[in-house]
Amino acid sequence: MQQSLTAQPAAAGAAAVRKPFGAQMLTPFLFLLPALFFYLIFLVYPMLWSLYVSLFQWDGLSDNMIFVGFGNYARILFEDEIARLALWNNVLWTVGTLVIPTGIGLALALALNRRFRGSVVFRTIFYSPAVLPLVAVGLIWSWMYNPHFGGVNIALKAMGLGWLARGWLSDYDTALAATFVTNVWSHAGFPMILYLAGLQAIPREYYEAAKLDGANAWQSFRHVTLPGLAETHVIVLSLSVIQSFKVFDIIYTMTYGGPGRVTQVLGTWMYFQTFQYYNAGYGAALAWVIAIIVLVIAIPYIRRMSRN
Amino acid sequence: MSSTALPASRRPAAAVPFIRRYGEDALLFVSLAILAVIWLSPFITILLSAVRSQADLFTRGIYSWPSEVLWRNFVEAWETGDFSIYFKNSLLLILVKVPLGILVASLAAYPLAKMRFALNMPIFLFFLIGLAVPIQVTLQPLLIMMQRIGLANSIWALVPPYVAFGLPFQIFVMRGFFRLIPGELIEAARLDGASELTIFRRIMMPLSLPALATLFIIDLLSTWNEFLIALVLINAKDSRTVPLGLLQFQGEFSTQYTLLMAGIVISILPVIAIFIFLQRYFVAGLTGGALKG
């Protein structure tokens, strides 16, 4: 590598004369080679492999692969009720994420944008759950939801709402909402940080101009702040949706998809099908459904990132 | 609350805007404080649960000062939970994966930022798409690949996929940072006869230390926290990382609540410490990575 990179030194000026033509062309790729190696072999290739597998009925172990075309995909959409429930849960999760942690994050950013004593401490507190391993987050909240000792029921009783107390994670009606609250706790800090950066990028003069024009607080928020955050919205909303369709760790540790199967999401159902029930072909199809949804939603985000 | 007393005590002519201004601030501060307490309550809960005996927990509940503060719960959890194995594995993994991944990403980011060639933009986009690839879509093939090359069940099986999944974000950040380095510096070095590799080593990398530090911290945390790939590729106890070990510990001691909480505290202590002490770099990197192009 060293040799081919060290072309003749001298000759400045036009790039073309600096090096032999071949080396000139090759240099960028020599730098890219290690990254392409890892990326192609351990991300792209497995991805395509599972696309191929998704067209088969296969247990993931034997040599016995039966071609079923798009049969696995048809099964997801038309036959498997759990898959549809999982997809629906992902949709609910996504809508919830777009509204709640995003809203909290925006509100916190607006509140913390003005520097005052303690604002950094607040920012640290609200962001801190986001750095924890999600397995720990799930276990911490399983304890919070513990029917006998957990903080949630104790708090409800203390507020005179004891009749609401229940086994939040074992109750069919509340399990998904309970895991989602955990998600809010762990994910509100990220949009907050992004919105704070977005707010700081809005020039002060805009606010001063709005003030001179007699705008009140709401009007300057509506006509200066919100438009100024347009770019940030694209990032925050895309990342929220992407993250919502990939959700796995929290569900896996808190409910394992239960009680029954009410908290299954595509990510966990794919895992169960592939590694517990040995339906590797079907699991691959489920994984590709996640991939397609996420890749389509990520297009505006990726376009934004690639702009200079 | 206390602030309403303040303006009331000195109430000159300009009292109304004064009260309004400071009243609003006080209201904001109080709301933030309440929310902060809610946000901290899970931490407080596990801490209070971790430092008491199980009997104490049953009789006095979580939200009371323990009759005796049992620090030895942490020792016991560390030993019975075999956390030393998991910590060793996670640290080894970080030691290898994080520098390797960032080096590979930086190498790739250099030509993407500073060289003109036909496939520059397509290759950059190709890497960026990886930001949206769900891990699930690679799991089963990765498992088979690792079994075939005899790495399954070893922590080294995690290195290649972790590097691959880390690249899109890291290449994006490093490319953005490299672009800020003046082209004249590079041209001058070329005139002096420096090879591209020398320029990368002597100019690009040293000038990018802030970005490298940020990526290092972010990657350290996400490597410590990663769960799904490790769950699929690793079964053997000796190769478990901290999240896997913690889940295993939970499975074995699910009713020994106080011990379990001590285990959770142990497993999150390193990331909390890193975050609190290094958050300046960390936060800058997150926003820089997601927002600046």
Alpha carbon separation from B284 to A133, A239, B171, B216, B217 (Å, rounded): 21, 18, 16, 13, 11
Which helix (H) or strand (E) is B198 found in, with range? helix B196-199
For A289-303, b/e burial (b = at least 16 CB within 10 A) is bbbebbbebbeebbe
Higher pLDDT pick, A115 / A211: A211
pLDDT band at A6 (very low <50, low <70, confident <90, very high): very low
Q: What is the mean pLDDT of chain B?
A: 87
Q: Are A73 and A54 in contact (CB under 8 A)?
A: yes
Q: What is the pLDDT of residues A100-134, one digit of tens each?
A: 999 999 999 999 987 777 888 899 999 999 999 99
Provide long-range contacts, Cβ within 8 A and 24+ apart, for B81-84.
Answer: B81/B245, B81/B246, B81/B249, B81/B253, B81/B259, B81/B263, B81/B266, B82/B237, B82/B245, B83/B242, B83/B245, B83/B249, B83/B263, B83/B266, B83/B267
DSSP 8-state symbol, A66: E
DSSP 8-state symbol, A56: E
- Of the candidates A201, A197, A200, A265, which has an alpha carbon nearest to the alpha carbon of residue A236? A197
Whether the pLDDT of residue B217 is over 60: the answer is yes
Q: What is the pLDDT of residue A283?
A: 95
The CA distance from A264 to the nearest CA of chain B, in Å, is 15
Q: What is the pTM for the complete model shown?
A: 0.88
The CA distance from A57 to the nearest CA of chain B, in Å, is 14
Q: Are A264 and A257 in contact (CB under 8 A)?
A: yes
Residue contact A2–B290, C-beta within 8 A: no
The CA distance from B287 to the nearest CA of chain A, in Å, is 6
- Of the candidates B250, B211, B228, which has an alpha carbon nearest to the alpha carbon of residue B80? B250
- The values of phi and psi at residue A56, to 5°, are -125, 160
Q: What is the pLDDT of residues A9-46, one digit of tens each?
A: 443 444 444 555 556 778 899 999 999 999 999 999 99
What is the interface pTM, i.e. ipTM, of the complex?
A: 0.88
Residue contact B247–A46, C-beta within 8 A: no
The rounded distance, in Å, linking the Cα atoms of B185 and B194 is: 11
Q: What is the pLDDT of residues B26-39, one digit of tens each?
A: 888 899 999 999 99
Whether the pLDDT of residue B84 is over 90: the answer is yes
List the 58-87 stretch of A: residues with Cβ below 8 A of B.
Answer: 60
B3 contact A CB<8A? no
Question: Which of B111, B145, B275 lies nearest to residue A46, judging by beta carbons?
Answer: B145
Q: What is the pLDDT of residue B281?
A: 74
Which helix (H) or strand (E) is A67 found in, with range? strand A66-67
